[in-house]
Amino acid sequence: MSTPPRSNRHGRTRRGGARRKFIILALVLLVAAVGLGAWIALQPQAGPAEGPGTGAGSGLASPGGTPAGNDGAIAKQEKEKEKEKAFIEQTLSGMSLDERISQMLMVDLEAVAQEAGGVQLEEAMQKLRPGGVVLFRGDIPDIRSVLTLNRRLQQTAAIPLWMSTDQEGGIVTRLPFASAMNGNMAIGATGRPGAAAETGEVLGQMLAKLEINLDFAPVADINSNPDNPVIGLRSYGSDPEQVADFVKSFIVGMHAAGLPAVAKHFPGHGDTATDSHIGLPKLDYELSRFESIEWVPFRAAIAEGVDAIMSAHIQVPQLEPATAVSKLDGKPITLPATLSPHLLTGVLREQLGFQGVIVTDALNMKAIADHFGSEEAAVMAVKAGADMLLMPPEPAAAVSAIHRAVDAGEIEAARIDDSVRRILRMKRKYGLLPDTASPPVPLEDAIQGAEAYFQSGSAEQTADRIAAEAATVWGTGVKTKLPLLRGDGRRVILIGDQRTVLERVQREIEGAASAAAGGSIQVEARTPAEVPSPRQWPSGAIAVWVTQDLHHDRSSAETVISWFQAAAEQDVAAAVLSVGTPYDIAELPDIPLGIAVYGTTSSNLRAGVKALFSAEPPAGKLPVALP
């Protein structure tokens, strides 16, 4: 804000003096305006965020519709796109048709070895030239072994490999020497999507330390069927919007660790009653159901910038009525989603607008392998719109079959090129291709760095904190029964069918009692057949039933229910520690105290034991609707 001219403060004016002062003032203002303009022009302009999954930064719109001040950033982006396109086209032009097809394969090392006969693995890999490898627990026995294996395999590749695995956390983990973290249902029970981001980032950091550059996670399925035999604890819950929030957050975390994210299993595996590893599931719903339930997390994942989406081997007859003849029994079956052009191309690619990489679930699973031959399934998956074929049982035969299909005009060569471009674009984005790759550190330095990371215990600390947030209490006497355990020397009898889990819970209880001011506790584990009846219960002893998915076993559920009814009559102190899906709550609604922990990882069990020692009920929220 300007002040009045000094002469005016005194109320005196002179005609000539006023004119001169006016001219001087005009010159001063002109100089100030020019200086301000120059200062603004020299300021750095904020450009759009360039991290995975982020949108462009905001700015004032110029007359041409471009955010003001962002011209330089936009020009830089366009130049980078041109550079990327030129590099990818140059790479593609130097590849034979077989090499392009092979780039679409993610192979299992065991399948490569079996198909190659007595040929050395490196030689077989060099001949096959796949786009990537899927590692399992047996391939990752320790840090030195997996890093050495990864370096050996990368040396066989003209185009660097995806070194991939399924490190979801919880019940699906591949690193025997690392924290299993928490499964998705435990994370969902925190009610805090940030827990998914923290988990995704830690999982990504783990894998990056081992030079594993692709993780098939997160699971985006909605567990709306309590009897689902294959998803369950792998899902964030049964509410589509909540699952979507957690899926998006996990993607953010994985990207923060510098790894791609892969949402699975499209079009949705959460309401199936068959495990596609051993059979062919079916979801007989109409379009509106999928749009309002199953596809909500996938839409969210696409909006968040997910890099790849994995298909499911499930039949969806109301969306894909086309059939094929099963090789198992010669009968017609509805095409599963993995082999469905309508679902992969018509819905996922065109309707939902996904422009990233479509990867099949493993083609050696019985849902595919029993009904379609290895070669036929590979060809059909490519026709359907898949870019990456996961674990074909006979990878070299799959390449030959796809090549023949191209020669016969069944598949256009341009269709193969489109998939390879998407794969190369994703590899370049994450630093696998030469023009974006960082030089590798010496192997021994990589091993030492990884060992230091895993020995730090930081992952386990994150897992323990999230597991404690997830623990969920129920029962008729919660306020009066906690703390159930005190480390006061009382006897505790653990009851359950799984001896190994009981022994692990026993160790956690003994450790917690010792940590509680040096307290002590007597713990023993028994099966339901070995445990005394409540009428013969040892005086002062506490019972902790460790249950897991009682809704799958009515007989076991009835045994627990009857025991607690008798225990109430005898005033026996007792509780349930539920270590499976939380549907045990529906089976045992009237027990005095129950703690659900959503898994059997070390962090899950510690969280449950901690809750039994605490006077404050845990604050976890039930992530699924109970039947």
Catalytic residue (one of 361, 387, 464, 584): 361
Buried b (16+ CB within 10 A) or exposed e, 118-137: eeeeeebbeebbbbbbbbee
* CA nearest to 195, candidates 180, 209, 184, 206: 184
Task: Answer yes or no: 269 catalytic.
Answer: no
All residues at 6 or more sequence positions from 132 whose CB lies less than 8 Å from its CB, including other chains: 105, 106, 107, 161, 162, 163, 164, 214, 388
Residue 568 CA to residue 200 CA, distance in Å, equals 43
Contacts of 146 (CB under 8 A, 6+ apart): 135, 139, 140, 210, 211, 212
Give the up-direction half-sphere exposure of residue 620: CA atoms within 13 A in the CB hemisphere. 31
- Is 277 annotated as catalytic? yes
Q: Cβ–Cβ contacts within 10 Å for residue 114, how many?
A: 12
Query: What b/e readout covers 267-280, taking b as 16+ CB neighbours within 10 angstroms?
Result: bbbbbbebbbeebb
For residues 193 and 232, is the Cβ–Cβ distance under 8 A?
Answer: no
Which of the 8 DSSP states describes residue 142? S
Q: 3-state SS of 481-525?
A: HCCCCCCEEEEEEEECCCHHHHHHHHHHHHHHHHHCCCCEEEEEE
Angle between helices 443-455 and 194-209 (to 10 degrees): 140
Kindly give the pairing relationship between strand 162-165 and strand 132-134. Answer: parallel
Q: Contact, 41 vs 68, CB < 8 A? A: no
Pairing of β 332-334 and β 389-390: unpaired
Catalytic-role residue among 277, 417, 497, 552: 277
Alpha helices in 10-142 (DSSP H): 15-42, 71-93, 97-102, 109-116, 121-128
As annotated, the active-site residues are: 277, 361
